[in-house]
Structures are given as structure tokens and as C-alpha cells.
Chains A and B, each alone.
Chain A
Amino acid sequence: MRRAWLVATTTYRQRVRSGTFLLLTFGIPVLMVIAGAIPFIMERRAELPRVGYVDETDQFAPLEAITVDDEMLHLVSYAEVGAAAQAFAGGDIDGYLVIPKDYFEGGRPAFHGERSPGRDLRIGLSQFMREALLPEAPGWQRARLGNPSEVMFASTATGERVAPGPGLIFRIATPAFLALVFVFTVMTTTDQMGSAVVQEKEQRAMEMVITSLSPRELVTGKVLGMTLLTLTQIGVWLLGAAAGLTLALFGALRLEDLTIPWFAVLWAVLLGIPGYFLYAVLAAGLGIIAGDKQQARQLAGMLGFLGMSPLFFMGLIIDNLDGVLGVGLTLFPMTAPVIALFRMLLTEVPTWQLGAGLAVLIATLAASIWFVARVFRAAMLMYGQALRPRDILRALRQS
């Protein structure tokens, strides 16, 4: 294991320093953060505009200004829409709000302006309407009326507490998100793994290395090294995505609202880890079978496509969540991690199905390691040549 770990750390160090890796790993999160920060920065810089309003219901008390987060929102009342439009055209106001006659029957107020109102202006307009509707009510009452009936669901069965809004979306989306991360990780790994292994052949280093350790140690080391590399990349990307999302949703998402579906996370880990290693080991096997880097990438692409294939079945599975296809793909090792998580999103997946899927996955992984180590021995010295199916069969027979 010491030698496998040495191969892993050397593979990791060798690749983590490459310019392409650094650019790809840190460039994407920087873009994510910038994308998330742009609206936030623009919002913070903008001062509250001077806004007109037209009250067609005649039920709102006239107000000239209100305070929003220590800033003044100046308001100008107009009797009719035409006057407000003229003032806007003349530059007296930056936009105007029209409260329609049927407001109390469900009609929607409309904001007229060059740009959509930002977050602070939306809060300001909402606050203005509460204050103008209930001018006599105390401030605390008007504040509470801003969000009077957000209901938290407390499950009597599990004791779990689920808040509505972004927190609830987070809870529902987590399995889907984890499944997509899995697919993305598998696609990244298969591509890099194939290249890393075929490189050993292309650079003729294999014969020297293989007299120092067993093919199994070499495969294990390569898989571990590439796993560390992929985890680094995905980790940095997730941090970037989290930072970008936090900036983009600044204020809308409160940590106490987040409800983590631990059951789904647990199965994501249990199925995801062996599932990931299964793809990584098979990618290593394809890398050694390939004659050159280009062929390795083609073969890895096919494997990555297989990793993505569960997404193509989603429509059929959603139609019948507990049907033969859904259960079958939950038990099939190549699709189990993704399909199980997606089914968890929409239905309660029986634990026996998840357990059986895990057992099949682990057995397949063990068989794959055995198979790939033998193919490795047969193919490692075939410089510049791909292994033909009959060579693979012979290698298995001789082992």
C-alpha cells in the first residue's frame, strides 16, 4: 500500500502543477464568483431612485418618503398614469408604480421604468405599500405583515423541520445536485484517468515502474492519485459555486433555513464512493488497452457517456418511479448512484433496494479491479498498440 500511495501522491503532484489543471480548476470558480458578485456589487452601489406612484384604488395613504435600511426612498404621488409617464419622460422620477383598481381583487401593481427594480427598491416598494395601507398601525405590526404566514413543516414521523423558500428548495434539490456532481465527476475522471495511464505506455516508463511494484499497486495508485486530483478540482469548483450563489442570493438564503436531507446524503456517499471508483478503475483499464492518448480519450468518452446515461432515462423513470426500469437501474452498478438519488428526490426508495444496489456495486468493483490488473499485465508493454479482444481473453486465461 505504501508504494500505491507513493504512485498516488506522485501522480497528484505531477498533474496538480500543470498549467491546464490550474487554469481550469481556479479559472471557473473565479468566473462563478464574479458572476454572482456582479448584481450584488451593482445593487450596493446604486442609490435608491426617486419613484412616482399612481393609486387607482384611492385606498393608500399619501407618503412622500420612507426609510429603507437607513436610506430614503422618495415618493411622488400622481393622480393618473399619464402624468406619471410624463414626469418619467421629463426625468423628474426614475420610475413609477401603478396600483391598479382591482388590486384588492388580486390585481398586480406594475413598476414602469428602464430597468427592473433591484432588491432594495423591491423591499422599499413593498414597505411603502404596507405603510400606505396601514398608516396607523405600529411599525412592528407592519414589519411582521411583510411575511405573516411562512409555515415550517415539522414531521411527526422523523422530527425533521423543513422551512419553506430557499431552504425547502435546497432540501429537494440536494439529491439531484449530488447526482449531477457524481455524473460530472465521473466524466472528468474517466477522461483524465485514461490519459494518465496511457501516458505511462507512451513515455515508455511502464517497464521500469512495473519492476518495482505490482500491476494492482500501480492501478490502485493511479486511481487514488486521480481521485485526489478530481476531488481537489470539484472541491474548488463547489467552493466557487457556493461563494457565487451566496453573493447572488445575498439575504434571501438564511443558514438556519437550510434543511439537509441526511438520508440522501448518506446514500450519496455510500453509493457514490464505490460508484466513482468503479468508473475510475474501468477508465484505467481502458487507458491501458488504448494504443495512444487519442484512443484513450475516445474510450474514456464512451465510459463517461455511460456515466451520464441515467439522465436519459429520467423521463421514463419519472413516469413510473417504482417500475422495473427504475428499480433495475437502481440495482445496476453503473447507474445505481445517480438513479437512486434521483428516485429519492421524488419518492421513498425502499432501503432493501439501496442496500442491494450497494452490494452489487461493491462486488462489481472488486471484479473490475481483478480484471483490470490482469489486462494491465498483458497490455502494459504493448507500446503504441491497442489491446485486441482476443488479447484480453488470452490475458484472462493465462492469469
Chain B
Amino acid sequence: MNGTVALDVREVSKTYATVRAVDNLSFRVHQGEIFGLLGPNGAGKTTTIRMALDIIKPNAGEISVLGGPMTEEKKSRIGYLPEERGLYDDMTLLDTLLFLGQLKGLSRQTARQRAETYLREVELWDAHDRKIEALSQGMNQKAQFVAGTMHEPELLIVDEPFSGLDPVNTRIIKDLLLRMRDQGTAIVMSTHQMHRVEEMCERILLIDRGKQVLYGPLDDVRTRFATNTVAVDLTGPLDEVPGVERLTPHNGGYHMTLKEGVQPEVLLRTLVNMPEVTVQRFERVQASLEDIFVQVVGREVAWDDEVEPT
């Protein structure tokens, strides 16, 4: 990540009739980072993305894209993979990519070269002359990813990029996203797959009912919401451990929930000093983002595919 701000959303709100879909939301995305935009059903993620892309207008606030307001010229420097997938059914894959690539400002020749390169990379070149309607869901998904990235954008917004993909194709798309990040692309990834965010994102924005819930570096968020549980692998007899409120066997080891006021260092010292016990692993159990969210908003939420008001 470098310091250049690719997307700057400031105090943005959007209301549909009587529904406040986005409420005073602010965040920044920098070049060379993958930024996680998270939230449950109807949280306002897609509305936020659509406002950032100038598809819909906010009622209040300002959005700066690549250094200023959105212009027609800037559209060629932005890539987008919408959650609502769709390409022209009766066009061939290559023709579709040539059309969308040229719309993004590529020459026909460059679009042709890039289409071939990217299709080979996602293992779709063999299907380049097939009609879109003849592609499987996974192939269609990869085709759409190529369409959104073949012009090598400076800002890429991907909405649920892994939905409908098998593990092999998930790996292909994930590697491509990481490579783009390393090359300096600012990536906004909206997803409900928390483990993907934990794997790939440096910073996150968690929203609920249009409002900001958590915002900042993922490590900071985790530290703020660190649990009082440690994971321990050890050998030797273990009946009762001072300072531990609950002892739960877990994957061949234990999860130990500490009593209030007991620090993990104290427990480690205690374990090390116990005769006949050898500590092989000792680490603080990090709260999952889902747990953190529940902790913050105080309720359980549905994290499946969201449906936004339009």
C-alpha cells in the first residue's frame, strides 16, 4: 500500500424513498491495498459501490475517485465486477471482451492481445469462440472478471468475486487480485466471506444498516477485539490450571478461557513451570470478524447474499 488515495468517500448518505440505505459513511482506499467492504444483508455495500462508480448519486456527501470527482475519462481507469453478473448471451466470449475492452479505451488490437493473455491465465482461452450462453457459471464468472480487469485499472471494485467458483478457480482469481494489488491497483472487495477478508485485506470497513460499525487496519480491529482465550498444545497431564476459567479440548490441544484480570503471559508462565508439562504451542485466539461484528452490533445477522433496495 502506498499513500496515494484512490477512493475517498466523505460523509455520504443515500435514501431510497423512506429507507436510509447509506448513512453518513466515510472511508478511504489507497493504491496498492485490498480494502474489505463488509456487511450483512442490506447493509448498504452495493449502494456504496454504485455511488462510488457514479451509477447512482448520493443525497449528501462527496466522493473523490482517483484524485477528484468522477469523469467520463476516469471510467477507463476503473474496473468493476458487479454482484449482478451478466454478459451478452448471444455474443462470443472474445467479441464480448473486445467490446468491453474497447469501451474502456483499449485499441482493438490491444484488447485482442489482452483478452488472449487474460483468458489463457484464467484457463478460458479454449472457450474464446463460444457464445456466452454456452459457458458454465464458473466460466462466466471468470469471463466477467477478465472483462473487468483486462484494461488494467488503477481502481478495481469487486463485489463478491468468489461466489460460484470452485476451489481451483477461487485460487486463480485470488492470485490475480493479489498480483494486481502488488502492482499498485487499489482494490475494494465487497464480500460476505469473512475468511477471504481475513486472508487478503489489509484494512476493512464493516457497515450495518448503512452506518459505519468498524473501520481501520484489520490487525488493529482484531487487537481491539482480542478474546481472553488462548490456544495451547502441550504434552503431559493437565487437570486444573490456575487462572483458567474454562478448559476446552480443541484439535488435539486446548482452548483455555482466562479468568477476568488474568493476562496470557501469566498463564504461559504457570504452564511452563508445571512439572511434566511441555508447551508446544501457545497463542492468543483471535476473534473472527463475524464474532466481532456480533459483539459490536449486539445481534446475530445473516451474512448470505444481500439484496439491496434500488
The one of A207, A209, A383, A385 in contact with B100, judged by C-beta atoms closer than 8 angstroms, is A209
B55 / chain A contacts, CB cutoff of 8 Å = 207, 210-211, 377, 381
Judge whether A381 and B80 touch: CB under 8 Å: no
Judge whether A381 and B89 touch: CB under 8 Å: no
Judge whether B78 and A205 touch: CB under 8 Å: no
Q: Given A6-B99, A14-B91, A212-B100, are A207 and B75 neighbors across the interface (CB < 8 Å)?
A: no
Q: Which of A1-45 contact B (CB under 8 A)?
A: 3, 6-7, 10, 13-14, 18
Assess whether B82 is interfacial by the CB under 8 Å rule: yes
Q: Given A14-B91, A382-B310, are A213 and B85 neighbors across the interface (CB < 8 Å)?
A: no
Q: Give bound CA distance, A214 to B89, whole Å.
A: 22
Judge whether A212 and B87 touch: CB under 8 Å: no
Q: Which of B30-68 contact A (CB under 8 A)?
A: 50, 53, 55-57
**Interface size in chain B (residues, C-beta < 8 A):** 29
B100 / chain A contacts, CB cutoff of 8 Å = 208-209, 212
Assess whether A155 is interfacial by the CB under 8 Å rule: no
Q: Which residue of A lies closest to B75 (CB)?
A: A212
B147 / chain A contacts, CB cutoff of 8 Å = 208
Assess whether B84 is interfacial by the CB under 8 Å rule: yes
Q: From A199, A209, A214, name the one whose CB has the most chain B CB atoms within 10 angstroms.
A: A209
Assess whether B304 is interfacial by the CB under 8 Å rule: no
Assess whether B192 is interfacial by the CB under 8 Å rule: no
Q: Given A213-B72, A381-B55, are A207 and B82 neighbors across the interface (CB < 8 Å)?
A: yes
Q: Which of B192-211 contact A (CB under 8 A)?
A: none
Q: Which residue of A lies closest to B81 (CB)?
A: A208
Judge whether A208 and B75 touch: CB under 8 Å: no
Assess whether A50 is interfacial by the CB under 8 Å rule: no
Judge whether A213 and B144 touch: CB under 8 Å: no
Contact with B along A357-399 (1 / 0, CB 8 A): 0000000000000000000010001110100000000000010
B: residues with CB less than 8 A from A are 50, 53, 55-57, 72, 75-76, 78, 80, 82, 84-91, 95, 99-100, 102-104, 144, 147-148, 310
Judge whether B103 and A398 touch: CB under 8 Å: no
Chain B interface helix/strand/loop/mixed? loop
Q: Give bound CA distance, A203 to B72, whole Å.
A: 24
Offer 23 A-B interface pairs, CB within 8 angstroms, sorted by A. Answer: A6-B99, A6-B102, A7-B103, A10-B95, A10-B99, A203-B86, A203-B87, A204-B82, A204-B84, A207-B82, A208-B82, A208-B148, A209-B103, A212-B103, A213-B72, A213-B75, A377-B56, A381-B55, A381-B310, A382-B310, A383-B84, A385-B310, A398-B57
Q: Give bound CA distance, A203 to B84, whole Å.
A: 10
Q: Give bound CA distance, A203 to B91, whole Å.
A: 12
Judge whether B78 and A211 touch: CB under 8 Å: yes
Judge whether A6 and B103 touch: CB under 8 Å: yes
B72 / chain A contacts, CB cutoff of 8 Å = 213-214
The one of A3, A14, A381 in contact with B50, judged by C-beta atoms closer than 8 angstroms, is A381
Q: 10 nearest interchain CB pairs?
A: A204-B86, A212-B103, A207-B82, A211-B80, A205-B86, A10-B99, A204-B84, A203-B86, A211-B53, A381-B310
Besides A207-B82, A211-B78, A381-B55, 11 more A-B contacts (Cβ < 8 Å) are A6-B102, A6-B103, A203-B89, A205-B87, A207-B55, A207-B80, A209-B103, A211-B75, A212-B103, A381-B50, A398-B57
**Interface size in chain A (residues, C-beta < 8 A):** 26
Judge whether A205 and B88 touch: CB under 8 Å: yes
B78 / chain A contacts, CB cutoff of 8 Å = 211
A208 / chain B contacts, CB cutoff of 8 Å = 80, 82, 86-87, 100, 144, 147-148
In whole Å, how far is A295's beta carbon from the nearest beta carbon of chain B? 18
Q: Given A6-B99, A10-B99, A398-B57, are A18 and B90 neighbors across the interface (CB < 8 Å)?
A: yes
B57 / chain A contacts, CB cutoff of 8 Å = 398
B75 / chain A contacts, CB cutoff of 8 Å = 211-213
B82 / chain A contacts, CB cutoff of 8 Å = 204, 207-208
Q: Which of A56-92 contact B (CB under 8 A)?
A: none
In whole Å, how far is B82's beta carbon from the nearest beta carbon of chain A? 4
Q: Which residue of B lies closest to A398 (CB)?
A: B57
Q: Give bound CA distance, A14 to B86, whole Å.
A: 16
Q: Give bound CA distance, A381 to B147, whole Å.
A: 19
A203 / chain B contacts, CB cutoff of 8 Å = 86-89
Judge whether B88 and A204 touch: CB under 8 Å: no
Q: Which of A201-231 contact B (CB under 8 A)?
A: 203-214
A7 / chain B contacts, CB cutoff of 8 Å = 103
B148 / chain A contacts, CB cutoff of 8 Å = 208
Q: Give bound CA distance, A211 to B215, whole Å.
A: 27
